[in-house]
């Protein structure tokens, strides 16, 4: 069964450093998303991406965040200058966009900023 | 702003008992999702509810949607220990027919004890 994959599974970085989180969505999916979940809290929407551009973003997704689909398979989230409060689990999700379907979530990347 | 409220946030049940988790949301939407999350794991899709009156069942779990009341329920029948997890409802922000971004409730942490 096709699945969303994410790398790395765990990333430790120092405050102020740049990180890139990678996702490979399911191949025939058209919509891509990033969510984050701070430990013990709810899942929060960050950004959605369709047709090679951001379709929506939340207040959390400020200028330090960016997303890219550099080729036909990868979908990346970049955090330019990490802060302690960026420590969270980051989930990538995708869906086909044909209507009525669900978002499939990847296993997540745990980001720890020290 | 769409708000999604779940209750209860914590639920301790005995095996064999029945209980219902409630999910209220604040604005019009006809797409509601239930996810299960085990500790440290990703989100597993349980149900996709797409219309008023939708009812879906899988094993000991049954979900329903009342769009007029803006309420979804997840009913647990004869709980077993394996159902212990955190359950999230999520509402699609876009109610104009296109898929949008999911707004999650805070989750209900279910613990089923023998």
pLDDT at site B29: 74
pLDDT at site B96: 54
Determine the Cα–Cα distance for residues B37 and A28; give it in Å rounded to an integer. 25
pLDDT at site A89: 96
Task: Name the architecture of domain B4-113.
Answer: Sandwich (2.60)
Phi, psi of B83, deg, nearest 5: -80, -5
Q: Which residues of chain B have a CB within 8 Å of the CB of A107?
A: 41-42
Q: Does B9 touch chain A (CB under 8 A)?
A: no
Which among A30, A32, A43 has a CA at the least distance from the CA of A6? A32
Angle among Cα A81, A95, A61 to the nearest 5 degrees reads: 20
Nearest to B102 among A41, A45, A107 (CB): A45
| Terminal Cα-to-Cα distance of chain A (whole angstroms) | 37
Q: Which residues of chain A have a CB within 8 Å of the CB of B43?
A: 43, 91, 105
Say if the Cβ atoms of B42 and A91 lie within 8 Å: yes
Q: Check residues A102 and B88 and name the one with the higher pLDDT.
A: B88
Chosen for mutation from A47, A58, A102 (greatest number of chain B CBs closer than 10 Å) is: A102
Which regions in chain A score pLDDT beneath 70? 99-100
CATH of the domain at A96: 2.60.40.10
Which among A95, A91, A45, A50 has a CA at the least distance from the CA of A69? A50
Q: Residue B30: how many CB atoms within 10 A of its CB?
A: 15
Q: Check residues B36 and B93 and name the one with the higher pLDDT.
A: B36
In chain A, the number of structural domains is 1
pLDDT at B9 over 80: yes
Say if the Cβ atoms of A107 and B100 lie within 8 Å: no
Say if the Cβ atoms of A48 and B100 lie within 8 Å: yes
pLDDT at site A51: 87
Which among A23, A10, A13, A19 has a CA at the least distance from the CA of A91? A23
> What are the angstrom distances between the C-alpha of B8 and each of A101, B12, B14, B73, B102?
27, 10, 16, 11, 20
Nearest to A105 among B42, B93, B105 (CB): B42
Q: Which of residues 44-103 of B touch A (CB under 8 A)?
A: 45, 48, 50, 88, 90, 93, 97, 99-103
Q: Residue A61: how many CB atoms within 10 A of its CB?
A: 20
Q: Which residues of chain A have a CB within 8 Å of the CB of B10?
A: none
Structure tokens at A48: 């959605």
Domain that holds residue A41: 5-113
pLDDT at site B1: 75
């Amino acid at each position: 069964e096709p699945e969303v994959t994410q790398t790395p599974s765990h990333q430790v970085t120092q405050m102020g450093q740049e990180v890139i989180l990678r996702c490979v969505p399911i191949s025939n999916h058209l919509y891509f998303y990033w969510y984050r979940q701070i430990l013990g809290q709810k899942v929060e929407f960050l950004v959605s991406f369709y047709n090679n551009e951001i379709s929506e973003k939340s207040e959390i997704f400020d200028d330090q965040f960016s997303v890219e689909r550099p080729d036909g398979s990868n979908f990346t989230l970049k955090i330019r200058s990490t802060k302690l409060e960026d420590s969270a689990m980051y989930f990538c999700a995708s869906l086909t966009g044909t209507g009525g379907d669900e978002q499939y979530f990847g296993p997540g990347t745990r980001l720890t900023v020290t | 702003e769409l708000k999604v409220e779940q209750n209860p946030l914590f639920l301790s049940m005995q095996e064999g008992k029945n209980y219902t988790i409630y999910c209220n949301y604040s604005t019009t939407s006809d797409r509601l999702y239930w996810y299960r999350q085990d500790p440290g794991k990703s989100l597993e899709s349980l149900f996709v509810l797409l219309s008023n009156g939708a009812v879906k069942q899988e094993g000991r779990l049954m979900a329903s949607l009342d769009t007029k009341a803006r309420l979804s329920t997840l009913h647990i029948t004869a709980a077993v220990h394996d159902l212990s997890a955190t359950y999230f409802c999520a509402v699609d922000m876009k109610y104009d027919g296109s898929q949008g971004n999911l707004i999650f409730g805070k989750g209900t942490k279910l613990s089923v004890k023998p």
